[in-house]
Structure 1
């Protein structure tokens, strides 16, 4: 994650999406479990993940992110990982007001991805 400058990595098992590891997971869960060399992604990953779909409209994705207070939305197609939509992506798509609302809600809440 450090080498790629990302704060979020989707976890796959047998080509199926099973969870994510966030920078927060590493800090909060990982450090509590011991040294990073002895911890597997499955030990600290977040399994309850909110997902979007390939045919989802931008405003639907934004509402889902706001409702669940998340900064990133995993996009799947038949349980296979297709990509990730982030708050930054919403800004690029012209949804600046919605992205600002989501940032405000996420800042208040306890979402971890």
Structure 2
């Protein structure tokens, strides 16, 4: 029987409001050992910001770190429902060349599934699974 997204996702993802500063977001990423944070307004998913977004859309353009995350986050999001097969998340990642997919019920985020989560689920002996299981570099 195929695993469902809610069996492999990371529940309760870190989320911030659109007006949160990039500096605060970076601090949360460091604190939690993650590379992505959801942008949520009134309980609804509005965006996703990654460590790469901060570098490419803010640092490289010499934006101030007090800039609101809404200015650099991705808003054209691909999402998956918790009850979908994990294979559906894999297909979405391949189709859209992305490494993480927010898990939503309606527009409300409840988790995040990453390529690392899926690597562990599919083959816990793979190099990506090993890397994903390691604690973050801080």
For the aligned pair, the TM-score class normalised by the smaller chain equals 0.7 to 0.9
Residue number in structure 1 paired with 2:120: 92
The partner residue of 1:20 within 29, 48, 58 is 48
Residue number in structure 2 paired with 1:9: 37
Identify unmatched segments of 5+ residues in structure 1.
101-113
TM-score by length of 2: 0.65
TM-score by length of 1: 0.78
Distance 2:42 2:30 in 1: 25
Higher normalized contact order (CA 8 Å, seq sep 6+, divided by chain length): 2
Q: Which has the higher helix share?
A: 1
Identify unmatched segments of 5+ residues in structure 2.
1-28, 129-138
**Deviations 1:62-95, CA, capped at 9 Å, x for gaps:** 0111110000011100110010001111122125
Instruction: State the 1:44 CA deviation.
Output: 0.7
Residue number in structure 1 paired with 2:63: 34
| Match status 1:70 vs 2:104 | no
The runs of at least 4 consecutive aligned structure 1 residues that moved more than 3 Å come to: none
The DSSP-based 3-state class of the residue aligned with 1:35 is coil
